[in-house]
């Protein structure tokens, strides 16, 4: 999961650096006034999102498998704990009767 997040962040930073360079050499238009940083960040976000969808498919699927395994393990632990509590509750009720 951390690997995918770092790869996604790296792709965004790479897009940002390339776009910043293109704005600096005036290939792309600069923003109005002090909005240049925001303009480049938004454009980098828009460009890096579809790139990450295509380029990071493998790490994203690995992260998805990892997350689903953790959820399934937590669900099994919850079910096991609930069954122990039910058994203890049933035993307490039987002792009261």
pTM: 0.70
Read off the pLDDT of residues 50-94 as tens digits, 9 standing for 90 and up: 999 999 999 999 999 999 999 999 998 888 887 776 676 677 777
SS3 7: helix
d(CA 9, CA 15): 10
Structure tokens at 29: 């238009």
pLDDT at residue 97, rounded to an integer: 67
pLDDT at residue 86, rounded to an integer: 67
Q: Mean pLDDT across the chain, nearest whole number?
A: 88
CB atoms within 10 A of CB 16: 18
């Amino acid at each position: 999961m951390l690997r995918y997040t770092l790869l996604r962040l790296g792709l965004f930073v790479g897009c940002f650096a390339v776009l910043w360079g293109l704005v600096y050499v005036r290939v792309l238009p600069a923003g109005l006034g002090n909005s240049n940083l925001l303009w480049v960040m938004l454009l980098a976000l828009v460009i890096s999102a579809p790139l990450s969808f295509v380029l990071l498919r493998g790490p994203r699927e690995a992260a998805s498998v990892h997350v689903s395994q953790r959820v399934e393990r937590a669900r099994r632990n919850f079910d096991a704990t609930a069954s122990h509590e039910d058994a203890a509750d049933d035993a307490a009720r039987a002792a009261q009767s």
